[in-house]
């Protein structure tokens, strides 16, 4: 191990005795060792470093320091940071409510520390999840939906001085300050909620600016004494899960100076991709009938006196005009709520985390952003696990990330593998050189006749089968019921022969379909499954990935009604995945119409025809077609 002096910002403010002791132990980061996986995350209580209360680092990670670890010594207070927007129309710049938790040494000894920051619209209560306040999905595709019920207003919760205790016990003992803020129009923050509007990006930007001395803070929401962040180095890292994971990316798109690193966990990176899918109106898993205006009501916990203005301006104005639950098309409203369109502003080193079985905020959200950042040369790594919504990277990985980019410790994290994948049955991630696995190749497979039973799915050899097969929509049949059925008129199912060896899928599967319908509009759902179906097991035992699309959409922004008997060809991606299909199973492609967990619920009876000659699926197989072990034909 090597030692060197800690590079603390403006370290001359520290007493001489502390400067003498500000020594860190850093693990060797030789080029030959950089590609190796780090040690497993420490699940046990971390060892507490004794001695002078200065940040200490071992193997490139910030350690718990005894002098920082006693909560009774922490300084905790709140304030309001002034933004540069007036979203609630009262003629004053909105102020957002902020709390601070920091080591006592920041006052007693002049220590300056970097900041871990989380922002959220959820800190002051949320609305109802009763279905009567969501959109009714029982209507035909393309029809004007019935009006939803009015959600009861949220009773405002005034919580101060501490907004949240999230992250405090983890990071303050390691020599960081922790900051939380309430999103505009929620809790004690002024302004209006906009669910992806520009003020949700500019509000955390203002907090980062305040931490760097570029914005003003006050002791009260109106007037008050000015508060400065004299204890901050100006280096900020943001993190959070779900909506709280979206806001770090939102802030980063502004390019704000000082936001050095973000760790978004299951972030919603596009509200269109959250509430629509390839032109189709589609709900997030577990929230059937939710839409952007429902989420607005769900978070609208701000000043009751401003809600009438906010409701009229945003929910009943901008959102009502832009959401379009009739066609489901992409438009300017959704474009303004898609962070990929502002990705050029991101400079913060990004560690993205997501679950492959997250059917609420689906795994494409992290993949689409991490890919774009990599193309732009921004430091980025991705952590995927096999679970559902949420799930942070191991603490060790987060610690290395924040230590490198907030404290400037040269721990070599930027040379670590780009992808960390928790494989089935594992607890610790497996490092990949990248995601998808670099050895994955697209292998095209085509269906053969017999899909109302189980037709064959074979590697494309250039031949096509000039057969049209049909299915009848019935929203009363779940995807699991259809996939497990020996035969069904409500779906088409095609499967490979039994695999002779394990097959590793890594990346994004893409499906091309040539379809027609006897109605002007219809749902279209596609599942990739592993067969035989495990009766009584969890759906994740057999569901590999899935996707949805609107056959009316010739492009994201354009749709035209279907003409009976007229075929449309469409190509779209399924959700990203990484898993191993074991030998003895079969890989199955299932095509059906309405998916009762996600789509609208039209009356049963719409018929879809699928032209097998124009239908295929391309699977990302590690090792390519040869990995199948024999021709799948």
DSSP per position, 515-566 = EEESSS---EEEEEEEES--TTS-GGGTEEEEEEE-TTEEETTEE----TT-
Which of residues 416, 432, 448 is at a domain's end? 432
The tally of CA atoms less than 13 A away on the side-chain side of residue 230 is 10
Helix, coil or strand: residue 60: coil
**CB atoms < 10 A from the CB of 581, how many?**
21
Considering the domain architecture, whether residues 247 and 350 belong to the same structural domain is answered as: yes
Helix, coil or strand: residue 117: strand
Considering the domain architecture, whether residues 504 and 423 belong to the same structural domain is answered as: no
Q: What is the pLDDT of residue 588?
A: 98
Q: What CATH number is associated with residue 208?
A: 3.40.50.1820
Nearest to 455, CA basis, from 621, 617, 575: 617
Which of residues 432, 460, 482 is at a domain's end? 432
Nearest to 261, CA basis, from 244, 241, 239, 232: 239
Instruction: For 411-469, write each residue's pLDDT tens digit.
Output: 999 999 999 999 999 999 999 999 999 999 999 999 999 999 999 999 999 998 899 99
What lies within 8 Å, CB to CB, of 540 at 6+ separation is 357, 386
Measured between alpha carbons, how far is 481 from 463 in angstroms, rounded to an integer?
Answer: 32
Considering the domain architecture, whether residues 245 and 376 belong to the same structural domain is answered as: yes
Query: What is the Cα gyration radius of the chain?
Result: 26
Structure tokens at 180: 């939380």
- Residue 148 falls inside a structural domain: no
Considering the domain architecture, whether residues 68 and 210 belong to the same structural domain is answered as: yes
Return the bridge partners of 238, or none.
117, 262
Which of residues 406, 432, 458 is at a domain's end? 432
**Which of 101, 242, 370, 488 is an active site residue?**
242
Measured between alpha carbons, how far is 110 from 13 in angstroms, rounded to an integer?
Answer: 6
Contact of 153 with 299, CB cutoff 8 Å? no
- Residue 285 falls inside a structural domain: no
DSSP states of 229-266 as a string? -TTEEEEEEEEEETHHHHHHHHHHTTT-TTEEEEEEES
389 flagged as catalytic: yes
Measured between alpha carbons, how far is 368 from 373 in angstroms, rounded to an integer?
Answer: 9
What is the span of the domain harbouring residue 186? Answer: 2-124+159-270+338-432
CA angle 448–450–451, rounded 5-degree value: 90
Structure tokens at 151: 């959600």
Q: What is the pLDDT of residue 26?
A: 35
Measured between alpha carbons, how far is 561 from 517 in angstroms, rounded to an integer?
Answer: 10
Return the bridge partners of 590, or none.
493, 527
Considering the domain architecture, whether residues 482 and 425 belong to the same structural domain is answered as: no
- Residue 286 falls inside a structural domain: no
Instruction: For 228-238, write each residue's pLDDT tens digit.
Output: 999 999 999 99
Number of domains in the chain: 2
Give every residue of the chain whose pLDDT is below 50, as ranges. Answer: 1-44, 631-633
DSSP H or E segment with residue 432: strand 430-432
Considering the domain architecture, whether residues 403 and 444 belong to the same structural domain is answered as: no
Considering the domain architecture, whether residues 504 and 422 belong to the same structural domain is answered as: no
Q: What is the pLDDT of residue 48?
A: 83
**Which of 370, 389, 593, 611 is an active site residue?**
389
Q: pTM of the prediction?
A: 0.92
Considering the domain architecture, whether residues 583 and 603 belong to the same structural domain is answered as: yes
Considering the domain architecture, whether residues 492 and 387 belong to the same structural domain is answered as: no
Considering the domain architecture, whether residues 368 and 388 belong to the same structural domain is answered as: yes
Alpha helix segments (H runs only) across 243-379: 243-252, 271-275, 292-299, 307-310, 320-322, 332-335, 364-375
The tally of CA atoms less than 13 A away on the side-chain side of residue 168 is 18
**CB atoms < 10 A from the CB of 576, how many?**
25
Indicate left, alpha or beta for 167 from its phi (over 0: left) and psi (-120 to 50: alpha).
left
What lies within 8 Å, CB to CB, of 36 at 6+ separation is none
DSSP state, residue 598:
T
Q: What CATH number is associated with residue 561?
A: 2.60.120.260
Structure tokens at 294: 């429902």
Give Dmax over CA atoms of the chain in angstroms.
Answer: 84
358 flagged as catalytic: yes
**Which of 291, 297, 358, 595 is an active site residue?**
358
- Residue 132 falls inside a structural domain: no
332 flagged as catalytic: no
Considering the domain architecture, whether residues 179 and 226 belong to the same structural domain is answered as: yes
What lies within 8 Å, CB to CB, of 282 at 6+ separation is 275, 276, 328, 548, 598, 599
Considering the domain architecture, whether residues 36 and 110 belong to the same structural domain is answered as: yes
């Amino acid at each position: 191990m090597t030692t060197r002096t800690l590079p603390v910002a403006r370290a001359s403010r520290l007493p001489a005795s502390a400067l003498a002791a500000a020594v860190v132990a850093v693990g060797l980061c030789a080029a030959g060792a950089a590609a190796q996986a780090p040690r497993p995350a420490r699940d046990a209580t971390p060892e507490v470093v004794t001695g002078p209360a200065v940040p200490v680092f071992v193997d490139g990670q910030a350690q718990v320091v005894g002098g920082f670890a006693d909560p009774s010594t922490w300084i905790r207070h709140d304030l309001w940071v002034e933004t540069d927007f007036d979203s609630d129309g009262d003629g004053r710049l909105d102020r957002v409510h902020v709390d601070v938790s920091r080591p006592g040494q920041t006052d007693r000894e002049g220590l300056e520390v970097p900041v871990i920051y989380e922002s959220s619209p959820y800190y002051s209560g949320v609305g109802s999840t009763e279905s009567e306040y969501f959109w009714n999905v029982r209507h035909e595709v393309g029809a004007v939906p019935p009006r939803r019920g009015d959600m009861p207003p949220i009773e405002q919760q005034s919580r101060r001085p501490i907004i949240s205790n999230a992250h405090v016990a983890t990071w303050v003992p390691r020599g960081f300050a922790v900051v939380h803020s309430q999103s505009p129009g929620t809790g004690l923050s002024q302004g209006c909620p906009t669910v992806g509007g520009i003020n949700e990006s500019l509000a955390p930007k203002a907090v980062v600016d305040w931490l760097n001395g570029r914005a003003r803070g006050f002791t009260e929401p109106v007037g008050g004494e000015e508060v400065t962040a004299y204890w901050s180095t100006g280096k900020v890292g943001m993190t959070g899960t779900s909506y709280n994971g979206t806001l770090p990316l939102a802030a980063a798109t502004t390019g704000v100076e000082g936001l050095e690193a973000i760790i978004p966990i299951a972030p919603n990176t596009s509200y269109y991709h959250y509430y629509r899918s390839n032109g189709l109106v589609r709900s997030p898993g577990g929230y059937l009938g939710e839409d952007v205006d429902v989420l607005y009501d769900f978070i609208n916990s701000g000043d009751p006196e401003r809600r009438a203005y906010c409701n009229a301006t945003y929910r009943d104005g901008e959102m009502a005009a832009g959401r379009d639950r009739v066609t489901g098309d992409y438009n300017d409203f959704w474009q303004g709520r898609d962070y990929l369109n502002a990705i050029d502003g991101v400079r913060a080193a990004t560690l993205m985390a997501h679950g492959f079985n997250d059917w609420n905020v689906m795994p494409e959200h992290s993949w689409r952003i991490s890919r774009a950042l990599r193309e732009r040369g921004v430091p980025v790594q991705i952590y995927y696990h096999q679970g559902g919504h949420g799930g942070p990277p191991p603490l060790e990985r987060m610690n290395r990330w924040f230590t490198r980019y907030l404290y400037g410790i040269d721990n070599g994290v930027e040379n670590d593998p780009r992808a960390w994948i928790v494989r089935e049955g594992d607890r610790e991630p497996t490092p990949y050189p990248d995601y998808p696995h670099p050895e994955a190749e697209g292998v095209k497979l085509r269906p053969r006749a017999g899909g109302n039973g189980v037709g064959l799915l074979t590697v494309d050899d250039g031949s096509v089968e000039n057969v049209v097969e049909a299915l009848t929509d019935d929203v009363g049949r779940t995807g699991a019921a259809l996939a497990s059925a020996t035969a069904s008129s409500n779906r088409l199912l095609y499967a490979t022969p039994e695999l002779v060896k394990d097959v590793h899928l890594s990346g994004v599967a893409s499906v091309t379909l040539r379809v027609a319908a006897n109605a002007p509009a219809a749902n279209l759902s596609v599942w990739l499954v592993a067969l035989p179906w495990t009766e009584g097991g969890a759906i994740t035992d057999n569901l590999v990935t899935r996707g949805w699309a609107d056959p009316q959409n010739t492009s994201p922004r354009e749709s035209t009604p279907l003409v009976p008997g007229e075929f449309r060809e469409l190509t779209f991606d399924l959700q990203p995945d990484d898993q191993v299909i074991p030998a003895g199973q079969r890989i199955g492609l299932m095509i059906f119409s309405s998916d009762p967990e996600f789509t609208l619920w039209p009356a049963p009876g719409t018929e879809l025809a699928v032209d097998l000659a124009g239908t295929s699926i391309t699977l990302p197989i590690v090792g390519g077609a040869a990995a199948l072990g024999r021709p799948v034909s």
